A and B are shown apart, each in its own frame.
Chain A
Amino acid sequence: MRKVAVVGIGHGRFGVRSDASLRELVFEAVKACLDDAGVPLKEVDSMVTGIAGDEFSIALQPSAQVHDYIGFHPKPNFRVEGACATGSMALRTGWMNVASGLADVVLVVGVEKMTEVATSVATDIMGRGGDATWEYPFGTTFPGYYAMIANAHMAEFGTTEEQLAMVAVKNHYYGSLNPYAHMQKPITLEKALTSFTVAHPLKLFDCSLITDGAAAVLLASGEKAKALSKKPVWIAGLGLATDTMRIGDRKTLTSILSAREAAKTAYKMAGVGPSDIQVATVHDCFTIAEILAYEDLGFCEKGEGGKLIQAKETYVGGKIPVNVDGGLKSKGHPLGATGVSMAIEITKQLRGEAGERQVKNAEVGLSHNVGGTGQVVAVHIFRRE
């Protein structure tokens, strides 16, 4: 296998982008990515597009809209999907393209245009990200699933609603420092705790946002990466794991076992452990999900996630800074773009280009991207050298 590096990053502005269509959002991210890499599109061999939902994009092959609009034809492009982890599936597929020798330079695009449909319809579409036959008849929604996980975690470990709200406060603080974030304003603990209940015990500020957005990274093989970039960021480890469709069939509700499995694979491949990670982007689709991520990735013991945020150990300067780009919580969660956006933040951190949010001398970073409630999870580890 050949070594693969990120040699270009491009992040579009996340938010309610009623000014732009799916393909126009992608154009912004791709242009920024090629500018950052200093590589013209004609030098890109192949492309992978991550888009989670046909129903959001209201098209059967939205990836064709994308390659058409940026003028990439006749070169290869296809779409990959893994619900909320779609962006990481695209990155993994891009990596496979380069590592295998099938292509030297690959453009990885993640995008979701979510606000073209009404919020209630978006809630419906995402609810069917659970088991659409056996769970959906009980009115399940994504907040509903994570609410059930939260209640189980609270009952088993005494995790509190305040601890959940502390995750929201942290991520909104960092989102306020990220010019690409959907919600760029800090919130207070009180505001989070007094917001309306979406699905008990999760309140409005425990939930990530329905967001439009696109992100792109350019990958290149070992020698090519060194020639193209002064600061290549290497993809050192990749882990992917799956779990049951229904949460009722899980061995536990207080851990996402597929995340643990994916992390184990990625740590082994990169030759590092949890204590080597200096900065992480994790899947905080809901505040409880970030607490599970701390535990599943080995940043703390099982059941101790609530205490980790309470001690502010996941802020810059703490034991392990997490989601210092605002996370899905305040940056927004355009399903297909999220995993690519995570890779961009880690690349920025390892390049030392994260500005006010910079983790000092970060050399090893990790991204953790959960599809659904863990039906598919990708963990990626990045290194500066």
Chain B
Amino acid sequence: MDFKNFSLAISQTKVARFADDLAAGKIMSTICSKCGKKYYPPQADCSECLSSDMEWKELKGEGTLVTFTKIYVPPDHFGVRQALMPFSSIQFEPCPIGLLAVESGLKVMGWMPKLDLKKIKVGMKMKASPQILPDGKVTIILEPI
């Protein structure tokens, strides 16, 4: 799968399999074979010991919500265009996003679909999971446990 199905922007990276793994239902991290440092998002190279000998490992998705927001003014890429039909309008209800602290202090960003802003609290227990979108793109969602 083209990595762009996840990143939206770039295709070319040494960790492009991340998108394939998401499609296969796994959120993957990398671990340095030499010094053991863990990376999420995955890195092909270790900034700790400069080794490029990395192993892939599935990330346990359970964790604690560090912070969140709901972006009402989206970037152009996610923008909602004016409806072309006269006398019609588009109701835009954006999806909140959050940052989840999982194993070893790693943090996973994800969408929080169908979650009411009032019910989202810093510190709540959640799980990060891969999600295949209707257009074939892959992403990550956070859901309460």
Write the residues of chain A forming the contact surface with B, with a CB cutoff of 8 angstroms.
118, 120-121, 123-124, 127-128, 132-141, 143-144, 147-149, 151-152, 155, 196-201, 246-249, 253
Contact = CB atoms under 8 A, between A and B. Distances in A.
A152 B67 contact: yes
Contacts of B139: 137-138
A138 B97 contact: yes
Contacts of A136: 7-9, 75, 77
B78 A139 contact: yes
B66 interface: yes
A144 B97 contact: yes
A331 to B, nearest CB: 21
B43 to A, nearest CB: 10
Query: Interface majority SS on B: helix, strand, loop or mixed?
Result: mixed
B71 A141 contact: yes
A138 B110 contact: yes
Given A148-B69, A200-B70, A121 B110 contact: no
Contacts of A128: 9
B9 A199 contact: no
Interface in B71-95: 71-79, 94-95
A199 B8 contact: no
Contacts of B72: 196-200
A127 B75 contact: yes
Contact of B97 (A120, A139, A197): A139
Nearest to B100: A248
A128 B107 CA distance: 19
A155 B123 contact: yes
A127 B97 CA distance: 14
A151 B78 contact: no
21 contacts: A120-B76, A121-B76, A123-B73, A123-B75, A124-B75, A124-B77, A133-B7, A133-B9, A133-B13, A136-B9, A138-B97, A139-B74, A139-B97, A151-B68, A151-B122, A152-B66, A155-B123, A198-B72, A199-B71, A199-B72, A200-B69
Contact of A147 (B13, B69, B74, B95): B69
Nearest to B107: A248
A199 B78 CA distance: 14
Nearest to A144: B71
User: Top 7 closest A-B pairs, CB basis?
Assistant: A248-B107, A155-B122, A147-B69, A124-B76, A124-B75, A152-B67, A120-B76
